A and B are shown apart, each in its own frame.
Chain A
């Protein structure tokens, strides 16, 4: 405790000096004396940001960044893990998430723009998808007994199937497919809504039909439990997946296997 106090005092003293000579320092040797306050910038920034959600893995904030509405995903320290393991896992997941987003975007799948990644505090700064609703909310409201535009829902299910097929053809496994992780963004020009995939926190790259099958199985479980009586709708989704993906037959076969045994094949962990 006392050691930490001294450290803080020293840091403050160092910063005080820094302020006095800041102008000269900036002009002659900009690198000097700047490393000390680096740890201060982010907590202060996040302190002012609006906390949207906290999960087991990360906190999600909303803030203005570079003049843009931005979502910041902060993977915080897990006290229950060994620090070295924690650092390694957190770093890898941050990198993985960013990689999958770019891979999807390159294939023409809409995903949030990455503005900035801070690998020291494991924060990802993402474009906020403004004016959007989750597919979950969309289906829920369309399923109300008084409103019944069913062909629209079928079109949506087909779109989802097509996009997931495209994603799997790029060997991206999302890892957490739910209707809450798909957003519908109304595009201002043509009024057509754009389907945006979000939360690639559990994603990874794999070409195995097994992994793709499990990815679909996770979606099926989530879909049918959040939206009762949608078996026919999900069937439409799978059909359109099978029709759009080049390698779908092996995946669908695996999906049938996974349904019988559950998603864990290796039966460890």
Chain B
């Protein structure tokens, strides 16, 4: 049910996404993540258009970690930061991280080839129903996404929302 992708640039790193609905312990999960007890990024799925968006953020995070140029303290906070179109770290966490009242969460892990233990550990922590990762598009809030990424109406005519978002994420450090 999860989606695992081996990073082409770093083949010993895989990114796994797991989507949960009807989550009841969002506050507890967020607290654990803040304390650094969860080795995963917990993302608010309403801000995601497609799993590709997470892959772009994760690939960039791993790359910046390798060259020692991360803007935040850990790989997982970097993934959340990379999703944001701005360079404001706390705003990125507020918009793209989970909040206490959320009832759905996208869990993102970066791991070596075989790490089923890591996955099952996380699954055990989340009190919710795991669904197909592709379902994330049914949870997303296009109006909010367009506003935050400042997608213009004329751009929407010639491009998909996903492409517009990915482009902004990939280029935000030089804008």
Chain B residues within 8 Å of A68, by CB: 52
> B159 within 8 Å of A by Cβ?
yes
Measured in the bound complex, the distance between the Cα atoms of B7 and A67 in whole Å is: 9
Please tell me which stretch of A115-123, A201-209, A236-244, A256-264 contacts chain B, meaning at least 4 of its Cβ atoms lie within 8 angstroms of it. Answer: A115-123
> How many whole Å from B114's CB to the nearest CB in chain A?
10
A115 with B174, Cβ < 8 A, contacts A22-B112, A30-B75 known: no
Q: Add 5 more A-B contacts to A98-B170, A98-B174, A116-B170 (CB < 8 A).
A: A23-B112, A31-B75, A110-B158, A110-B159, A115-B170
A105 with B167, Cβ < 8 A, contacts A23-B112, A99-B175 known: yes
Chain B residues within 8 Å of A120, by CB: 67
Could you write out 27 A-B pairs with CB less than 8 Å apart? A30-B74, A34-B65, A35-B67, A42-B9, A45-B9, A66-B7, A66-B8, A66-B56, A67-B5, A98-B171, A99-B174, A99-B175, A101-B167, A102-B168, A105-B155, A107-B152, A107-B154, A108-B152, A114-B170, A115-B56, A115-B166, A116-B60, A116-B170, A117-B170, A117-B171, A120-B67, A194-B158
CB-based nearest A residue for B74:
A30
Q: Which residues of A contact B (CB under 8 A)?
A: 22-23, 26-27, 30-31, 34-35, 37-38, 41-42, 45, 63-68, 95, 98-99, 101-102, 105-110, 113-120, 125, 127, 194
Measured in the bound complex, the distance between the Cα atoms of B174 and A101 in whole Å is: 12
Measured in the bound complex, the distance between the Cα atoms of B112 and A240 in whole Å is: 56
Chain A residues within 8 Å of B155, by CB: 105-108
Taking a contact as CB atoms under 8 Å apart, the answer to whether B66 and A38 are in contact is yes
A41, A45, A127 — most chain B CB neighbours (10 Å): A41
Measured in the bound complex, the distance between the Cα atoms of B11 and A157 in whole Å is: 45
Q: Which of A63, A102, A109 contacts B8 (CB 8 A)?
A: A63
* Shortest Cβ-Cβ A-B pairs, 7 listed: A108-B154, A38-B66, A113-B163, A114-B170, A66-B55, A95-B174, A108-B158
**What does DSSP make chain B's interface, helix, strand, loop or mixed?**
helix
Measured in the bound complex, the distance between the Cα atoms of B159 and A110 in whole Å is: 7
A116 with B159, Cβ < 8 A, contacts A34-B66, A102-B168 known: no
**What 1/0 flags go to B68-84 for Cβ under 8 Å of A?**
10100011000000000
> How many whole Å from B74's CB to the nearest CB in chain A?
7
Taking a contact as CB atoms under 8 Å apart, the answer to whether B170 and A30 are in contact is no
Within 8 A of A (CB), among B27-61: 39, 52, 55-56, 59-60
Within 8 A of A (CB), among B70-122: 70, 74-75, 111-112
> B147 within 8 Å of A by Cβ?
no
Measured in the bound complex, the distance between the Cα atoms of B10 and A23 in whole Å is: 16
Q: Which of B9, B66, B75 contacts A35 (CB 8 A)?
A: B66
Measured in the bound complex, the distance between the Cα atoms of B48 and A187 in whole Å is: 25
Chain B residues within 8 Å of A101, by CB: 167, 171
> How many whole Å from B68's CB to the nearest CB in chain A?
5
Taking a contact as CB atoms under 8 Å apart, the answer to whether A64 and B8 are in contact is yes
Q: Which of B158, B163, B171, B173 contacts A127 (CB 8 A)?
A: B163
Measured in the bound complex, the distance between the Cα atoms of B10 and A68 in whole Å is: 16
CB-based nearest B residue for A49:
B8
Measured in the bound complex, the distance between the Cα atoms of B65 and A106 in whole Å is: 30
> How many whole Å from B73's CB to the nearest CB in chain A?
9
